[in-house]
Structure 1
């Protein structure tokens, strides 16, 4: 009689540096190079442009240090999914996991992949989104879409060979893009134009809508609040994915300490970079030039001023490095959520198994399939409009879970407690709720489709529970 073969277990191969690089690398994709154009069109002034990034940075840092308590209490693979399950129930956790699989993670992977391809076209034009390789009444497939899929498949394959492989890519590409961004910011400040800076900051707090023709539109107080919320959609998307490190807690060494520190250091580094980059933009480009940058590529316009014609290629290479490393982190971390869901009987059973390299290979591949479909559909942009709303709702629920668990489990071990509790987490929740309410009022197209996707998860949850019950009964009868 042979002994039952022992199943592979998650390996604790990631340290503090790896966790910090995963946080920073997953956050920095293409957003910082692009979204400031849309923000400027909404708020119209240098002061409010920076204020939007500062508000987002404050919210991100506050949420990150609050998550430190939960990560220390539950240092398991799955992160936020686990926190929601422990604070509420399996249904709330499943709705997060379902939204994560259907749009949040897969949609982000698709968008970041296509961003890589778009900027690769600067170096090799046939890769352009304008190069249509297949045309039909249902779908047009461009070279950029196919390249994005190749990148997703390549990174997925690398990550199936073990967490160490993904870690090496993550660290190399994240360190490279951090140094590149710091370099761009420093060179930008050296190239600062006094007249541009003075013009941008003379009436820095005069909020108005900035139209493409250079004209202005005034706001009432209520409309100004809506404009700030609309502007923050871009900055929040650019600052999202900081929580990805919580998903791989099962592979972190000393996770009770290192997850919380990774969250703090990673979000702090990125917040400093984002705010500094936007201050630099206001020193080399007029507000009109920022708002009307070709295809919203503000960094390309700024780089032209700093480096001349070479600037386009410098930014193209930077964004390719940035998006490649970003997608590696998203792909690596995302599959761990599906792994934890499968362990609870809420996802494909096979997703809850590890391959010989101790990684959830099936979860990695189904994530790649959905992300690739979104790339081909061309609808990832529409989906991403909903992400900020849905993501903030779940962030608020998760941070509320800190208060719930303090009551439900007052004596539970808490190696780290949320910084500034109960005030700072409460401030985040208030800001998050206000953000969501303003979007519901002023940008309903950003809200109700996302809510529908979340709610579709309810019948799916009860279907999976019924099947799970039937399987259990069958096992008892056999």
Structure 2
């Protein structure tokens, strides 16, 4: 029988942890979502402000999480923080949402994005081809390739954290350098007339159709709704920054390095995202951004910057970006299920570590659900729908800082939230505004996520009831 390791092995230094934060954030979103943002807000100024607001929120949350990560430097991250601040039901609802959609569907979406852009170079992997037609479900080469990538990365991560960290660090460095190169060449190819046109009346806010037709200007409250709707894309692109907290048990000197990696990683990615979008406004007109084919703004920009070879260049960049992103998501996600299992709220076998000191069973269960999402064809919609729930749990977690300071005033806090209480309060207010505006102006992005979360309540009591009977 295979010997089981009983504890995680700290193998990740500060650089590795920072690369996990940045690498998990940078996937396919930065290359695509700006089209929808421009359609919602209609101007360069507001497009950049959407990214700046999202970046500020992400950085504020990351700086606040530093206090929690230093207090509870163990596997599970946000799941553990919610349990300590509230109760096991709240933490289970987070873990349930995380397992059913948040992490697994994100892995699937990033995997399919990898396959879609592989098809630019190798058309045999096109999502438009049908390999198997089952009537209600069709299977394309893109879906099969995404499954293969997810299975391959899962296998590598079962071999130990060193295998995962080598891929993560290497690919993150490469994609940061690649994005840096795209930004530099983009500004080099900047068109003065395009820049001037885009930055005239830059704070007008209105709908912009893909055809370039402008809608009427919003009044104040609808304008806030448009900004919230636009932020769905930027928040999705900036999410997963907290993945390093899930793998805290494998970070060297976690009380110091997790907080630092959160701050450094989110800051670097925010600068890259804002600068990339400023570059877009120098090479593409607003109607070209809003009407980019299948929202592939980066592809349209690369055609201007690099000419005919632009498609291949951007396809390779996105393949590198999504491959590294998925490695980080896969590596960190399984640690949440491990923590749930140790609490008796997940498959019992997920609470064990394999001979490489990683939760192998949890990795494979996550792999199975993510692969199923690859075949759903609806993963993109579900990711948008879950944005409301993701921000909601971030708000709850940051509120947990105030609760824990009251409940445990004498607890060891090697790192305290920067800007407390102002910065956490600002995040909470901005997050609440985002969620409330989505409820009003884009209800389809809220109710499905809420329903998935609420379903977790009877599941929790069912599991607890079975556990009580077995005792």
Note if 1:220 corresponds to 2:219.
Answer: yes
How many angstroms apart in 1 are the aligned matches of 2:197 and 2:377?
39
How many angstroms apart in 2 are the aligned matches of 1:471 and 1:76?
28
Q: Which residue in the other structure is 1:39 paired with?
A: 37
Quote how far apart the aligned CAs of 1:6 are.
7.0
Give the gaps of 5 or more residues in structure 1: 473-478
Q: Which residue in the other structure is 2:71 paired with?
A: 73
How many angstroms apart in 2 are the aligned matches of 1:465 and 1:143?
42
Quote how far apart the aligned CAs of 1:423 are.
0.4
Q: Deviations over 1:241-277 (max 9, x none)?
A: 0000000000000000000000000000000000000
In the alignment, is the contact (CA less than 8 A) between 2:5 and 2:356 conserved in 1? no
Q: Which residue in the other structure is 2:128 paired with?
A: 130
Q: Which residue in the other structure is 1:475 paired with?
A: none
In the alignment, is the contact (CA less than 8 A) between 1:8 and 1:356 conserved in 2? no
How many angstroms apart in 1 are the aligned matches of 2:369 and 2:121?
28
Matches within 5 A, 1:184-195: 184-195=182-193
Give the gaps of 5 or more residues in structure 2: none
Q: Deviations over 1:183-208 (max 9, x none)?
A: 10011111111100000001110111
In the alignment, is the contact (CA less than 8 A) between 2:386 and 2:448 conserved in 1? no
Given candidates 147, 158, 168, the residue that maps to 1:170 is 168
Runs (4 or more) in structure 1 with deviation over 4 Å come to none
Q: TM-score, normalization: structure 1?
A: 0.97
Q: Which residue in the other structure is 2:361 paired with?
A: 362
How many angstroms apart in 1 are the aligned matches of 2:304 and 2:9?
48
Quote how far apart the aligned CAs of 1:8 are.
3.1
Q: Deviations over 1:331-352 (max 9, x none)?
A: 0000000000000001000000
Aligned length: 468
Q: Which residue in the other structure is 1:141 paired with?
A: 139
In the alignment, is the contact (CA less than 8 A) between 1:162 and 1:358 conserved in 2? yes
| Cα distance change on mapping 1:6 and 1:384 into 2, 3 Å | closer
Instruction: Provide the secondary structure at the position in 1 that maps to 2:230.
Output: helix
Matches within 5 A, 1:366-377: 366-377=365-376
Quote how far apart the aligned CAs of 1:323 are.
0.1
Structure 1 window deviating more from structure 2 (396-405 vs 385-394): it is 385-394
How many angstroms apart in 2 are the aligned matches of 1:308 and 1:323?
23
How many angstroms apart in 1 are the aligned matches of 2:455 and 2:287?
42
Matches within 5 A, 1:59-458: 59-218=57-216, 219-458=218-457
In the alignment, is the contact (CA less than 8 A) between 2:4 and 2:354 conserved in 1? no
Q: Deviations over 1:217-262 (max 9, x none)?
A: 1222211111000000000000000000000000000000000000
Q: Which residue in the other structure is 1:465 paired with?
A: 464
How many angstroms apart in 2 are the aligned matches of 1:68 and 1:377?
36
